[in-house]
Amino acid sequence: MTFRQRLALSFAATVLAAVFAAALVVSVPAQVGANLPFVTGVTVQNSVTTIVAANPSRRGLKICNVGATNDVWIAPVNTSGTTVAPAALGAGSFLLSRSSAAGANVVVNCLNTPADVTGGSATTPTVVTAGFAGITNAATSPVTVWEY
């Protein structure tokens, strides 16, 4: 093998190694093809309403009660697909206050996961990919969902 052939082979091997290393470093986004969140509007009823379905590729989720009149309680759907029944003032539910309640020092009208939900255990892990259901205290309330 000539010096020129060895040089060409060495160069090709170096380029191949660099491409392989770059491929290992680059991560694929969870929401394939989307650089921005998926945004959905849902009208939550005063009976259990599906807000967002489970999504195994979800990296983050934000659910906000944008209504000015009614509070919304939300609860996750467990991994077997069974909804933890959300209930007004019920155990296991997150309260999303009506937006007009901010003046009354009630300012929790959004749930941001994974930031707002931490911990979990082996039996009840905190999973950002879970679905959520909701219920209002009366009538209906608009809810906005951002999936990242």
If one compares 66 and 100, the residue with the highest pLDDT of the two is 66
Asked if the structure places residue 33 within a domain, the reply is no
The pTM for the full model equals 0.66
pLDDT value of position 122? 46
Asked if the structure places residue 130 within a domain, the reply is yes
Domain containing residue 73: CATH number = 2.60.120
Instruction: Indicate whether 143 pLDDT > 60.
Output: yes
Asked if the structure places residue 101 within a domain, the reply is yes
- Whole-number average pLDDT of the chain: 75
How many structural domains compose the chain? Answer: 1
Asked if the structure places residue 121 within a domain, the reply is yes
Report how far Cα 114 is from the mean position of its chain's Cα atoms.
Answer: 7
Asked if the structure places residue 109 within a domain, the reply is yes
- Residue 130 lies in domain: 38-147
Asked if the structure places residue 11 within a domain, the reply is no
Strand partners, 64: 110, 144
| pLDDT tens digits, one per residue of 48-59 | 889 998 888 888
Look at the chain and count its residues. 148
| pLDDT tens digits, one per residue of 78-126 | 666 666 778 887 777 888 888 665 555 555 688 887 666 554 444 444 5
pLDDT value of position 31? 53
Asked if the structure places residue 91 within a domain, the reply is yes
Asked if the structure places residue 117 within a domain, the reply is yes
